[in-house]
Amino acid sequence: MTYADADLLNIIDIEATCWDTQPPPGQVNEIIEIGLCVLNLRTLERVERRSIKVRPERSEVSAFCTELTGITAADVQGGLTFAEACEMLRREYHADSRSWASWGDYDRNQFRRQCGATGVPYPFSSRHSNAKQVYAAAHNSPRLGMAQALAHAGLPLEGRHHCGEDDAWNIAALVAGLVQAGQWPAAD
């Protein structure tokens, strides 16, 4: 089944290389997984989910990162380059023209930093919604972490927390609730 692009929202959740303290000398945070869930804003159906593994070029996956995300160095060794992953987002998910959302601003800011550092064109449209901020405003609550918001909304956490694909899927459930309640910003 095909849908009108205006009916679809890309929900993005990334995982990046991380350490329990400061990065080792010469290493920087890099995206290693792009979790994506496509939500049909008309039907509220989560129509696609995907994990795009990205091979880091200026860092290594630490034991701390593997413990947190479940992603190992071997998992990303065969991943796409960051440039290839950004091109895939544009080509397959119309990221440069479709509205998108993330839980907070970390994902958007990490993409901007990494694109700036590598010269890779930023893959997304300017139509971004911070779902954490929208949820807090809709519920007159502090900005909750995704897992806290799921509990607050009475929704289960499906899959593994800090797995980009699973987190994007869960964020989509929260966004669907906001759309259903008339609390999601209208598309431009």
Cβ–Cβ < 8 Å for 31, 110: yes
For residue 120, what pLDDT is reported?
A: 98
User: For residue range 89-109, what is the model confidence (pLDDT) as tens digits?
Assistant: 999 999 999 999 999 999 999
- Which amino acid is it at 99? S
Q: Where are the domains of the chain?
A: 5-180
**Chain length of the chain:** 188
User: For residue range 51-78, what is the model confidence (pLDDT) as tens digits?
Assistant: 999 999 999 999 999 999 999 999 999 9
For residue 1, what pLDDT is reported?
A: 46
Looking at every residue in the chain, the average pLDDT score rounds to 96
Q: Which CATH superfamily is domain 5-180 in?
A: Ribonuclease H-like superfamily/Ribonuclease H (3.30.420.10)
